[in-house]
Amino acid sequence: MRKGGAMTMMMMMVAVALVFSCVSSASAQLDPHFYSHSCPQAQQIVASIVGKAHYQDPRMAASLLRLHFHDCFVKGCDASILLDSTASLASEKRSVPNKDSARGFEVVDEIKAALEAACPRTVSCADVLALAARDSTVMTGGPGWIVPLGRRDSLGASIQGSNNDIPAPNNTLPTIITKFKLQGLDIVDLVALLGSHTIGDSRCTSFRQRLYNQTGNGVPDLTLDASAAAVLRQRCPRSGGDQNLFFLDHVTPFKFDNQYYKNLLANKGVLSSDQVLLTGSPATADLVKLYAANQDIFFQHFAQSMVKMGNVSPLTGASGEVRTNCRSVNHN
C-alpha cells in the first residue's frame, strides 16, 4: 500500500516534470552553457571587444543593442540582419528601419574574427548579437542577465520581414502591440524593452512627421511638450537635415537608467512610438509610471524580456549553420 502510494507519487512527479519541460521547450533548446566546453573563452572575447568599441564610441552600446532587436524580429534571432547583399540575396540592411540607421557591423566583424581565431566554426553570429546586447546594457549601467546560447545562423534574409515586422516610429499603439504579439511578446515586454531608448540616437527623419504634420492635417503631434518640440524643430526642419541626430533620452543619453520613462511622463518622448506608451492605453501608461518610479523593477523586467526576445524562433540543432563570416553564408 505504502509502496504503491510512493510509486504513484513518483509517476505524478515525472508527469509534472514532463509538463514543465514541454511548457519551456521553446527556450529549452538554448543553454547558457552551450559553449562551456567548445569555446569557454567566448563570452570573455565578446565582452572585451564590446568594451573597447564602447570606449572608442559611446554610442556603440546602443547600436549593438538595437541590432539584436532588429535581428530577432525578422525570421527569429538568426543573424539574418548581418548578411550583405549578393546577386541572389537582398540584405536586410537595405530595409527602411535599417538603411542609414543600423550600425555596429564592423564591431560584430571584429568579434567574429577573434572568435574564429580562438574556436573556429563554433560560436554563431546570432549568439554574438545576443551577448553583445547584454554586454552593451551592462556597460552603460543597466542590468545583466544570463544569456541562453546555441542559436544558429540563417542561410537567408528577409527584407520584406524587416520592412513589415519591425515596428515603425509612426505606428499606432495597437499596431505596435500587434507586431510584438507576432513575436510572442506582450505589453510588459513592449514597455520594458522600449526602455532601451534610454540610450542612443534617432535621426530627424524618424520623428519629423510629428513635428509638423502628425496625421496629415498639417498639425503637429500635440502630445509632444511644446518646448521640446521647439528644440527638435531647430535641427529638424520641414525639409533637409534628415540625418541630423538627436539623443533618444536627452537627459542622460549614455546611461542605461529609467530616465526614458520620466521623459515620457514629461511628454518629452522623442518618437511618436515612445510617447504612445503613455497616451495610448491605461495598461501601458501604468507600466510607464511603474518604471519611472522604480528602476529596480524596470531592470528586472528588462532583463526578463531581453531573454524572451532572444528566444524568438532560434535555429537550433542541425538547422542553419555557424557562419565563419557574419556577412555571408558559408561556401563550404
Ligand X SMILES: *[C@@H]1O[C@H](CO)[C@@H](O)[C@H](O)[C@H]1NC(C)=O
Q: Which is nearer to ligand X, 213 or 325 (CB)?
A: 213
Which residue number places its CB atom closest to ligand HEM? 200
Stretches 56-64, 122-130, 144-152, 278-286: which one binds ligand HEM (CB under 6 A)? 56-64
68 is catalytic: no
Residue 4 binds to ligand X (criterion: CB under 6 A): no
At its nearest, how many Å lie between ligand X and the CB of residue 213? 4
From candidates 271, 292, 312, 322, binder to ligand HEM by CB under 6 A: 271
Q: What is the DSSP string of 244-289?
A: -EEESSSSSTTS-SSHHHHHHHTT--SSHHHHHHHHS-HHHHHHHH
Residue 259 binds to ligand HEM (criterion: CB under 6 A): no
Residue 53 binds to ligand HEM (criterion: CB under 6 A): no
Q: Does residue 95 contact residue 158 with C-beta atoms inside 8 Å? A: no
From candidates 218, 240, 282, 317, binder to ligand X by CB under 6 A: 218
For residue 179, the Cα-to-chain-centroid distance in whole angstroms is 14
DSSP conformational letter for 89: B
d(CA 175, CA 162): 15
Q: Does residue 65 contact residue 196 with C-beta atoms inside 8 Å? A: yes
Residue 240 binds to ligand X (criterion: CB under 6 A): no
Q: Does residue 265 contact residue 292 with C-beta atoms inside 8 Å? A: yes
Residue 116, Cβ neighbours under 10 Å: how many? 16
Residue 153 three-state SS: strand
Q: Does residue 122 contact residue 45 with C-beta atoms inside 8 Å? A: no
Q: How far apart are the first and last CA of the chain?
A: 62
Q: Which is nearer to ligand HEM, 124 or 206 (CB)?
A: 206
Q: Which grid cell sits at 9?
A: 507519487
Q: Is 282 assigned a ligand-binding role in the annotation? A: no
Stretches 213-221, 262-270, 275-283, 313-321: which one binds ligand X (CB under 6 A)? 213-221
Residue 196 binds to ligand HEM (criterion: CB under 6 A): yes
Q: Which is nearer to ligand X, 152 or 210 (CB)?
A: 210
Catalytic residue selected from 37, 54, 68, 70: 70
Q: Which of the choices ligand X, ligand HEM, none does residue 59 contact, using the CB cut-off of 5 to 8 A by kind?
A: ligand HEM
Stretches 48-56, 158-166, 209-217, 319-327: which one binds ligand X (CB under 6 A)? 209-217
d(CA 153, CA 282): 39
At its nearest, how many Å lie between ligand HEM and the CB of residue 8? 47
Q: Does residue 164 contact residue 89 with C-beta atoms inside 8 Å? A: no
Active-site annotation, residues: 70
Contacting positions for ligand HEM (CB under 6 A): 59, 62-63, 65-66, 69, 101, 103, 167-169, 176, 193-194, 196-197, 199-203, 206, 248, 271, 273
